[in-house]
A and B are shown apart, each in its own frame.
Chain A
Amino acid sequence: GQQVMQIPQYQHVQEGEDFTTYCNSSTTLSNIQWYKQRPGGHPVFLIQLVKSGEVKKQKRLTFQFGEAKKNSSLHITATQTTDVGTYFCAGSNTGNQFYFGTGTSLTVIP
Chain B
Amino acid sequence: DGGITQSPKYLFRKEGQNVTLSCEQNLNHDAMYWYRQDPGQGLRLIYYSQIVNDFQKGDIAEGYSVSREKKESFPLTVTSAQKNPTAFYLCASSRTGHSRSSYNSPLHFGNGTRLTVT
Per the 8 Å Cβ criterion, residues 90-108 of A in contact with B are 90, 92, 94-98, 100-103
Q: List 25 A-B contacts (CB under 8 A).
A: A6-B42, A31-B102, A31-B104, A33-B104, A33-B106, A35-B107, A41-B111, A42-B109, A42-B110, A45-B108, A48-B103, A48-B106, A50-B103, A51-B102, A88-B43, A90-B43, A92-B104, A94-B100, A95-B98, A95-B99, A96-B48, A96-B56, A96-B97, A100-B35, A100-B42
**A20 an interface residue at 8 Å Cβ cutoff?**
no
Other contacts beyond A30-B102, A97-B58: 6, CB < 8 A:
A42-B90, A48-B103, A95-B99, A96-B50, A101-B42, A102-B42
Binding site for A on B (CB under 8 A): 31, 33, 35, 40-45, 48, 50, 56, 58-59, 90, 97-104, 106-112
- Chain A residues within 8 Å of B41, by CB: 102
Taken together as a complex, chains A and B put the C-alpha atoms of A42 and B4 apart, in Å, by 11
Taken together as a complex, chains A and B put the C-alpha atoms of A36 and B107 apart, in Å, by 12
User: Would you call the interface of chain A mostly helix, strand, loop, or mixed?
Assistant: loop
User: Would you call the interface of chain B mostly helix, strand, loop, or mixed?
Assistant: loop
Asked whether, in the complex, the Cβ of A43 is within 8 Å of the Cβ of B109, the reply is yes
Asked whether, in the complex, the Cβ of B102 is within 8 Å of the Cβ of A50, the reply is yes
**A1 an interface residue at 8 Å Cβ cutoff?**
yes
